[in-house]
Structures are given as structure tokens and as C-alpha cells.
Amino acid sequence: MRTALELALARLRARPRLAFALLAILLALLPLLTGATLGRAWVRVLDLSLLYVMLATGLNIVVGYAGLLDLGYIAFYALGAYFYAWLASPHFGLHLPFWAILPMGAAFAGLFGVVLGAPTLRLRGDYLAIVTLGFGEIIRIFLNNLNAPVNITNGPQGINMIDPVRLDGLSFGSPVQVLGLSLAPVHLYYYLFLVLTLLLIFIAYRLQDSRLGRAWAALREDEIAAAAMGINARNVKLLAFAMGATFGGLAGGLFAAFQGFISPDSFNLWESILVVCMIVLGGMGNIPGVILGALLLTLIPEALRYLGDVQRALLGHVFVDPSDLRMLLFGLALVGMMLYRPAGLLPSRVRRREFAAVDGVAEQEQADLYDSRA
């Protein structure tokens, strides 16, 4: 069985065009198949997981490429979402078109990336993590309290009745008939999110393999040596923050349109940490790894919800609340990761080298020991 699978994979690797076509068909049919078998709720989960892929890809620019540990990343997601809500809901009575708000929201978040990045430029490692964590919380608290004296965010109640995406007369708020298929809003959002996710992944790949990508890698490896290579650490870092924030803002705008309702509760510290976990689990700096991490950490917790039903069926009543169990398994998974795959499930070339270097030293010591005995 395993060998048959490996053989098939090897064959696909030899024919990249075929593999690409198969992947495209799979991605196109996925929501329809999921909807038909597991139900609409799971298509919704797919939509959300695509949003998390966007977030993880964006944060990966900051954390994975430039090596700046940002624990307040969700703030940019929140800013993108609120920006969309302000310009497309009854809250201010504005209803701007989707195609105009989305890039503006992304730029708005990107600007905040620079504003919040600027004070942290001299910080590194743990200190940077703490300060960005604080910034993330500050943004959330602002959103929670900016309902007086002027009502900007509507406070803890959040903003409701946000316009659904409307593109060229096609509203994503109601089902659409295409070729005899009835596509529900969740399906339409899936395709929109998929296109934008692929676009962001493309941009992230291009950035990684460029003059800027090398500058980020140099900065991550050794800031002093990078400066001695003529790299302006300030500008390059701010650019990483801005790019990451732009990705986050874009995802945030989509989230607002998709949910129709946002409140500060959706953007708490846990969400920030979750996105960092996706990157760490998948493999920092490596885009396929980051995508895998984002998918796993959104899909698995959803699947674990069924454990409540399983307990009820087998044991008569629920012993462990599924949500507690999810956290428990989540913790276990992370501990297991640190022990067995510290570089992530699909580590990047560079990260693999970093961890392999340590193993190399250990191997050498082992060999020396062996030689001395002989």
C-alpha cells in the first residue's frame, strides 16, 4: 500500500504539469465533495482554514524570513476586518464596493505594520515577542473601548450586518446557480479565498527568492554582518512588518465580509499564538510547511468536536468536554513536535540545516568516542 502510494508520488514528481492539473481539479472540487459528504459546516471550516493559511503565510514573512518573533500579529487581521466593516456596513452608513475596500484595508494594515514595527526596531528575540504581544493586546483593547465618546468600533458588541462580498453584480450573500449546480455562499467564498490565498503564496515565494528575501535571511542570521553588507536593517525590518501586516489585513477584510459580524473577541491573544503555532508546527520559513501547519491546526480541532458524540455513543454521557480535549491534544502535539521534529513537519532548507548542524556535532563526538576506544 505504502509503496504504491510512493510510486504514484514519484510518478507525479516526474510529471509536474500532470500533478499541477490534478491538484487544481482537487482544489476546485473539494468544497463540492465536502459539502456533499460532510455538510456545509465543513465547507465553512475549509473557508476559515484558507483564511488561516493567508495569515500564516503573512506571519511567516515576519517570523520565518526576517526572524522577528511577532506575537501580536492578529492585530493586523483585526485592523483589516474593522476597516472593511467601517466602509461596508450600516455602522457608518457606508457601503463601498468590495474591490475598493480590500486593497485599501490591506494597505491600512500595512501602514499600521510600519507604525507598530518602528518602536520595536532595536528589540530582538524575547523582548520583541513581549512588546509585540503588548501591541496586539493594545489594539484589541482599543477596539473594545472606542465606542465613546465617539462610537468608532461599537465596543464589545462589535459591528453587525457587514456587507457580503459583491463582485460585478454577483452577491456572495445568496446562492448562485452555475451549470445546474447550486453554489451556496460558503462555496463562493471558498473560491474567492482560494484565488487570493494562491496569490499571497505566489507573492511570498517571489519575495523569498529575491534581493529582499536574501536581505531578510542575512538579518535573521547576523544583524551586524548584514549592516556591514550595506543592508539598512531599519528599512528591511519595517518592510517585513509591513508585508506581513498587509497579508493579515487582507485576510481580515475577507473575514469581516465572510462572517458579516466582527467583535474584539475574535482577535484575542490566543489567535495570535495559534498562528505562530501553525508556523512552528509546519516548519518556519518554508511555505508548504506553513500551509500544512495552518490546515492541520484548523481542521484537526474541528474534527475533534465529534469526540463528544463518540463519548456519548460509547459511554452514555460526555466524560471529557471536547473543547478541553482539544486543548489537551494540542498541547501534547506541540510537546511531541519539540521532541521529535523540532524544525517542524516540513522544515525549510535553512532550518533543517540549523538543527542538523547540532546533530552533526553530536555524531562527530560519538565517532570520536568510538575512535578513542578502538
* Contact criterion met (CB below 8 Å) for 298 and 48: yes
Residue closer to other proteins, measured from CB, 32 or 203: 203
Q: Does 18 bind other proteins (CB under 8 A)?
A: no
Q: Under 8 Å CB-to-CB from 220, ≥6 apart: which residues?
A: 65, 66, 67
CB-based contacts of 120-129 (< 8 A; 24+ apart in sequence): 120/68, 121/233, 121/234, 121/237, 121/238, 124/223, 125/69, 128/68, 128/69, 128/70, 129/69, 129/70, 129/71
Q: Does 210 bind other proteins (CB under 8 A)?
A: yes
C-alpha to C-alpha distance for 335 and 338, rounded to whole angstroms: 5
Q: Does 357 bind other proteins (CB under 8 A)?
A: yes
Residues in region 300-339 near other proteins by CB under 8 A = none
CA distances from 160 to 18, 96, 105, 131, 149 (A): 45, 16, 18, 31, 20
CA distances from 178 to 44, 170, 175, 184 (A): 20, 12, 10, 11
Q: Under 8 Å CB-to-CB from 104, ≥6 apart: which residues?
A: 83, 87
Q: Work out which of 217, 269, 318, 333 binds other proteins, going by CB under 8 A.
A: 217
* Contact criterion met (CB below 8 Å) for 179 and 105: no
Q: Does 107 bind other proteins (CB under 8 A)?
A: no
Q: Does 232 bind other proteins (CB under 8 A)?
A: yes
Q: Does 183 bind other proteins (CB under 8 A)?
A: no
Residue closer to other proteins, measured from CB, 130 or 350: 350
Residue 1 three-state SS: coil
Q: Does 364 bind other proteins (CB under 8 A)?
A: no
* Positions of E strands within the chain: 88-89, 94-95, 166-167, 170-171, 176-178, 181-183
Q: Work out which of 109, 183, 239, 304 binds other proteins, going by CB under 8 A.
A: 239
Q: How far is the CB of 202 from other proteins (least distance, A)?
A: 8
Residue closer to other proteins, measured from CB, 7 or 357: 357
Q: How far is the CB of 248 from other proteins (least distance, A)?
A: 16
Q: How far is the CB of 97 from other proteins (least distance, A)?
A: 24
Q: Does 230 bind other proteins (CB under 8 A)?
A: yes
Specify the stretch interacting with other proteins by CB under 8 A; choose among 150-158, 211-219, 290-298, 312-320. 211-219
Specify the stretch interacting with other proteins by CB under 8 A; choose among 95-103, 201-209, 327-335, 338-346. 201-209
Pairing of strands 176-178, 181-183: antiparallel
- Contacts with other proteins by CB under 8 A: the residue count is 29
Q: Work out which of 38, 201, 233, 329 binds other proteins, going by CB under 8 A.
A: 233
Q: Does 196 bind other proteins (CB under 8 A)?
A: no
Site residues, other proteins (CB under 8 A): 203, 206-207, 210-215, 217-218, 221-222, 224-233, 239, 243, 350, 353-354, 357
